[in-house]
Amino acid sequence: MELLIYLLYPLRLFAFRPWLTAPVALVFTVLVFNKRFGAGSRVLFGLAALSWWAFTAIEAITPVQANIRIDLFILGWIYMGTLVAGAVAAIRGWPRGGGRAGD
């Protein structure tokens, strides 16, 4: 059980802070429209953006008095999974230097 808590621990940074979740969603939204990435990566960015915009909305409407966050335990896997998968896709598909000008 403690392993599960440690895997979701980074989400505690975002709990009750929609001003921190929105920039993550915005980055994935911008990456969706970047033509330098392949179609598969852009679909993954779209899924990550949708999940993080939903996370932003949930955090914006959840009252601070709701100290037991079972929704983060259930949906947190989706948020963390899309964050990691999107970050890996962005790093792997990022344009590398050393190419010709105009590429």
Percentage of the chain with pLDDT > 70? 83
According to the per-residue pLDDT averaged within each range, which of 2-11, 13-22, 66-75 is highest? 13-22
- Look at residue 25 in the predicted model and tell me its pLDDT: 96
Query: How far are the Cα atoms of 47, 48, 73, 102 from residue 38, in angstroms, in the given order?
Result: 15, 15, 32, 18
Residue 32 has pLDDT above 80, yes or no: yes
Rounded CA separation 64/78 (Å): 22
